[in-house]
């Protein structure tokens, strides 16, 4: 097993895309699950905390160690098996999403979870329950996890799911026969896209507890994923508007038809405000000068007629006064990729900006129930636009999921940005929404998780962690403050 100790070779593991920074004693790079187990057992015997590291594209400091050892999955990157008849694939956790997408698309298969950052790992996606543009239609990573192998701090292994509907007790047996009984005492999870804290719900699968648990309950050493056929055709467009209200009405109108059996059923429905378009203009000079908002939309065609989808789309554009002549409609896969790059570019540029300023990311990942979304959005814009801090606002608006990223230039602006962030979180919670719809809590959003769920619910989560990881060795500092874990 590779062991890295010198500062130069471990520095890359001491931050993630949030720019949160940490430290560790050493980084271990196992090449097999037996080596992972060996390292975990040794760490537990010495009472040393362990942080798991995927590709480090996380946005909440989840893979950033606060001391102890790091176990990196970079050498656990194989596709173990693809079963084309059952449409499933078994993979190692360090496999990059881009490599997986490339391999399965060659054989006509499709894996919808698309957390923008193609350089993330499947293990990281599992641990954060990553979402992305296509989650609008297909749901988050959770919806595509068939089974997984989990290694506990004791080195014992679970193969899950063992129960598909656990009622109010999760009863799991490790491969050595040890039984773990975990009470499922419902917490009231918001009725929106959500990646905040543990998933705890009566009737859940046992594996659901581990998906999105941010490396705090177990190391995921093998994952089996559900696949789909590639759609016959994909309609893709970036539609520009001269008014943000029109763009938002356009999205509302399409959302109101969601999953009803009509000719248009987008798989992705994403919004960009005027600041995002300005932010991108240098790289994408084709953005019309008078554009004040844009919507990127994809529609996978399985049974639907692509011409009909396009006709319906154009009628929606006309109804909401889109700039039809300036909008972009894909005519082939190359165009589609360009539009996806356009969507991805805004998040990349935010990450680039914060790391160039050496600032911690101050960006919302909130989703709220649809009936409160427009008010929440307006209130958030009012909060941020009354001062000099630059910001870009975009996101998965089909899911009422908003990324408002502030771009502070100095420490004073950073302080104000944090205050604004805190106020936005309060109004998301008040509206029955979530602190994190997809990035997770990690080390930088714990206080907000506490506001969202309250102490009693967090204690229920911490109680579960104690059953599986009594010494709080895995993912220390993620999700829970020390106080919550006492």
Ligand X SMILES: Cc1cc2nc3c(=O)[nH]c(=O)nc-3n(C[C@H](O)[C@H](O)[C@H](O)COP(=O)(O)OP(=O)(O)OC[C@H]3O[C@@H](n4cnc5c(N)ncnc54)[C@H](O)[C@@H]3O)c2cc1C
The residues binding ligand X (CB under 6 A) are 16-17, 51-59, 62-63, 73, 93, 115-117, 120-121, 123-125, 127-128, 130-132, 214-215, 219-220, 347-348, 351, 438-439, 475, 478
Q: Please, which residue, 439 or 465, has the CB nearer to ligand X?
A: 439
Q: Please, which residue, 128 or 157, has the CB nearer to ligand X?
A: 128
Token readout for 149 is: 């192998």
Least distance (Å) from ligand X to the CB of residue 273? Answer: 17
Least distance (Å) from ligand X to the CB of residue 100? Answer: 12
- Which residue stretches of 291-431 are H helix? 306-319, 333-356, 370-385, 411-430
Least distance (Å) from ligand X to the CB of residue 114? Answer: 7
**Using alpha carbons only, how large is the chain's radius of gyration in Å?**
22
Q: Please, which residue, 9 or 168, has the CB nearer to ligand X?
A: 9
Least distance (Å) from ligand X to the CB of residue 212? Answer: 9
Contacts of 236 (CB under 8 A, 6+ apart): 296, 297, 298, 299, 329, 330, 335, 336, 339
In contact, 317 and 310? CB cutoff 8 Å: no
Least distance (Å) from ligand X to the CB of residue 17? Answer: 4
Q: Please, which residue, 22 or 93, has the CB nearer to ligand X?
A: 93
Token readout for 85 is: 């008849």
Q: Return d(Cα 422, Cα 442) in angstroms, integer.
A: 17
Least distance (Å) from ligand X to the CB of residue 388? Answer: 25
Least distance (Å) from ligand X to the CB of residue 63? Answer: 4
Token readout for 241 is: 């508007």
In contact, 89 and 223? CB cutoff 8 Å: no
Q: Is the peptide bond before 161 cis (omega within 30 degrees of 0)?
A: yes
Token readout for 448 is: 């907000």
In contact, 374 and 248? CB cutoff 8 Å: yes
Contacts of 251 (CB under 8 A, 6+ apart): 269, 271, 295, 397, 398
Q: Please, which residue, 231 or 363, has the CB nearer to ligand X?
A: 363
Q: Return d(Cα 153, Cα 212) in angstroms, integer.
A: 18
Least distance (Å) from ligand X to the CB of residue 316? Answer: 24
Q: Please, which residue, 273 or 438, has the CB nearer to ligand X?
A: 438
Q: Please, which residue, 62 or 408, has the CB nearer to ligand X?
A: 62
Q: Please, which residue, 125 or 267, has the CB nearer to ligand X?
A: 125
The owner of tokens 């109108």 is: 253
Least distance (Å) from ligand X to the CB of residue 202? Answer: 25
Q: Please, which residue, 54 or 161, has the CB nearer to ligand X?
A: 54
Token readout for 341 is: 């790059």
Query: In this structure, are strands 69-72 and 26-29 parallel, antiparallel, or unpaired?
Result: parallel
């Amino acid at each position: 097993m590779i062991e890295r100790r010198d500062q130069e070779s471990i520095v890359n593991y001491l931050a993630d895309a949030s720019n949160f920074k940490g430290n560790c004693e050493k980084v271990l790079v196992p090449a097999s699950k037996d080596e992972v187990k060996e390292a975990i057992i040794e760490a537990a015997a010495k009472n040393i905390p362990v942080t798991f590291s995927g590709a480090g594209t996380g946005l909440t400091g989840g893979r950033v160690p606060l001391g102890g050892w790091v176990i990196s999955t970079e050498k656990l990157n194989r596709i173990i098996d693809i079963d084309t008849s059952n449409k499933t694939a078994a993979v190692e956790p360090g496999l990059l999403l881009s490599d997986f997408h490339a391999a399965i698309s060659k054989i006509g298969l499709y894996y919808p979870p698309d957390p923008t950052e193609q350089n993330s790992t499947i293990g990281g996606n599992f641990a954060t329950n990553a979402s992305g543009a296509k989650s609008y239609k297909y749901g988050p990573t959770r919806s595509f996890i068939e089974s997984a192998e989990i290694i506990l701090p004791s080195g014992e292994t679970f193969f899950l799911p063992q129960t598909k509907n656990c009622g109010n007790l999760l009863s799991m047996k490790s491969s050595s026969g040890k039984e773990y009984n975990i009470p499922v005492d419902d917490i009231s999870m918001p009725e929106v896209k959500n990646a905040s804290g543990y998933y705890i719900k009566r009737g859940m699968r046992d594996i659901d507890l581990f998906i999105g648990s941010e490396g705090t309950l177990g190391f995921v050493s093998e994952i089996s994923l559900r696949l789909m056929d590639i759609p016959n055709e994909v309609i893709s467009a970036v539609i520009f508007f001269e008014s943000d209200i029109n763009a938002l009405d356009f999205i509302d109108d399409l959302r109101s038809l969601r999953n009803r059996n009509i000719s248009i059923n987008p798989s992705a429905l994403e919004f960009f405000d005027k600041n995002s378009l300005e932010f991108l203009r240098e790289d994408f000079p084709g953005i019309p000068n008078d554009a004040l908002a844009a919507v990127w939309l994809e529609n996978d065609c399985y049974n639907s007629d692509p011409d009909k989808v396009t006709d319906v789309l154009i009628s929606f554009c006309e109804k909401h006064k889109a700039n039809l002549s300036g909008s972009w409609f894909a005519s082939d896969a190359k165009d589609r990729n360009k539009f996806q790059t356009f969507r991805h570019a805004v998040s990349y540029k935010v990450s680039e900006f914060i790391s160039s300023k050496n600032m911690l990311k101050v960006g919302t990942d909130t989703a709220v129930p649809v009936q409160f979304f427009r008010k929440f959005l307006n209130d958030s814009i009012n909060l941020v636009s009354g001062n000099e801090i630059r910001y870009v606002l975009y996101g998965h608006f089909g899911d009422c999921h908003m990324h408002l990223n502030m771009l502070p230039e100095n420490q004073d602006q950073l302080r104000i940005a944090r205050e604004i962030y805190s106020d936005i979180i309060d109004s998301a919670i008040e509206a029955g929404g979530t602190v994190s719809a997809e990035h997770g809590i990690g080390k930088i959003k714990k206080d907000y998780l506490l506001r969202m769920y309250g102490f009693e619910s967090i204690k229920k989560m911490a109680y579960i962690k104690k059953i599986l990881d009594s010494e709080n060795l895995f993912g220390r500092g993620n999700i829970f403050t020390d106080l919550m874990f006492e």
